[in-house]
């Protein structure tokens, strides 16, 4: 399966990585064959986009809230004693995880995110892992069944966000309700970047070297079967020509690029 070829005068995006904190965890939380039980420092990455023709900017936020200690009690209780969280700088917010810093910005989330809101939010619902200000519903676009989803390559549901083939929102079920990925053109001649978000939390899952860890008291994914299927599809995407795949918590890519030109004000080179 291939991705759509570029159009004449194809629009694309310049994409810059942003530092959004780190988490200290052991690999056995994510994969079934860890090499050791050492704590690993994994990134939490966000990404800033700028459109090549209309100069629109978009922030794909997978970051950790600055005041993570004020997360709902259920979140804090789920952090293993040996693990830890560090956020060195302020995190700009967007896309379904945290409350906004920009009062006029529009949020875009998967349609099933509404399930999270309808089930109740903390503190009103004491056992919720989401705060009541998780998203401003009055200026949020919920991408549900009222838009046109189409298959693209190995991905079953993609939405051409701007209608110009520059950015596809990917319905990426498994991790949480309404979870989305982004497939972004990074050049006019056929380069791509796939931001897989929390589809997987370890690169070995994408390559097939490891399977998902099991038997967690607090599962990482709300639907493990859907998550495994999505991981398989992203693995197929990663093997397509001129496609770079980055995970929100992808340690190998981060270690190779930390402090380099891929981070703002620089940008990720197109393949």
Least confident residue range of 56-65, 177-186, 231-240 = 56-65
pLDDT score recorded for residue 214: 84
Least confident residue range of 13-22, 33-42, 130-139, 173-182 = 130-139
Confidence grade of residue 81 (pLDDT, cut at 50, 70, 90):
low
pLDDT in tens, 94-152: 334 444 456 778 889 999 988 887 777 655 666 666 767 777 888 889 999 999 999 99
CB 110 within 8 A of CB 175: no
Three-state SS at 122: strand
Confidence grade of residue 66 (pLDDT, cut at 50, 70, 90):
low
Q: Considering the entire predicted model, what is its pTM? A: 0.89
CB 244 within 8 A of CB 183: no
Question: What tokens does 42 get?
Answer: 């994994």
pLDDT in tens, 182-231: 999 999 999 999 999 999 999 999 999 999 998 766 678 989 999 999 99
* Whether domain 13-257 has CATH 3.60.15.10: yes
Residue 270 has pLDDT above 90, yes or no: yes
198/48 Cα distance (integer angstroms): 17
Least confident residue range of 21-30, 116-125, 160-169 = 116-125
What is the overall mean pLDDT for the chain? Answer: 86
Query: Percent helix, strand and coil across the chain, each rounded to 5?
Result: 20, 30, 55
146/85 Cα distance (integer angstroms): 38
Pick the closest to residue 32 from 270, 238, 211, 248 (CA basis).
Answer: 211
Cα dihedral 88, 250, 16, 170 sign: negative
Cis status, amide bond into 123, omega within 30 of 0: yes
């Amino acid at each position: 399966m291939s991705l759509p070829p570029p159009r004449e005068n194809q629009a694309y995006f310049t994409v810059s990585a942003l530092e959004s904190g780190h988490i200290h965890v052991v690999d056995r939380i994510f994969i079934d064959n860890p090499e050791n039980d050492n704590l690993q420092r994994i990134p939490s990455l966000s990404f800033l986009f700028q459109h090549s023709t209309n100069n629109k900017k978009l922030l794909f936020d997978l970051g950790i809230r600055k005041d993570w200690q004020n997360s709902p009690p259920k979140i804090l209780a789920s952090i293993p004693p040996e693990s830890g969280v560090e956020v060195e700088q302020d995190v700009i917010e967007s896309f379904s995880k945290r409350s906004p810093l920009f009062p006029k910005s529009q949020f875009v989330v998967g349609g099933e995110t509404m399930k999270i809101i309808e089930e109740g939010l903390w503190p009103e619902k004491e056992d919720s892992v989401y705060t009541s200000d998780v998203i401003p519903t009055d200026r949020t676009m919920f991408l549900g069944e009222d838009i046109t989803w189409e298959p693209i390559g190995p991905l079953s549901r993609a939405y051409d966000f701007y209608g110009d083939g520059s950015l596809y929102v990917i319905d990426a079920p498994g991790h949480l309700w309404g979870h989305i990925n982004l497939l972004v053109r990074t050049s006019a001649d056929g380069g791509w970047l796939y931001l897989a978000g929390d589809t997987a939390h370890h690169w070995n899952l994408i390559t097939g070297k490891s399977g998902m860890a099991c038997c967690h008291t607090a599962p990482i994914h709300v639907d493990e079967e859907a998550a495994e299927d999505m991981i398989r599809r992203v693995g197929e995407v990663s093997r397509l020509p001129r496609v770079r795949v980055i995970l929100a918590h992808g340690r190998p890519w981060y270690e190779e690029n930390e402090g380099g030109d891929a981070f703002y004000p620089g940008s990720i080179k197109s393949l």
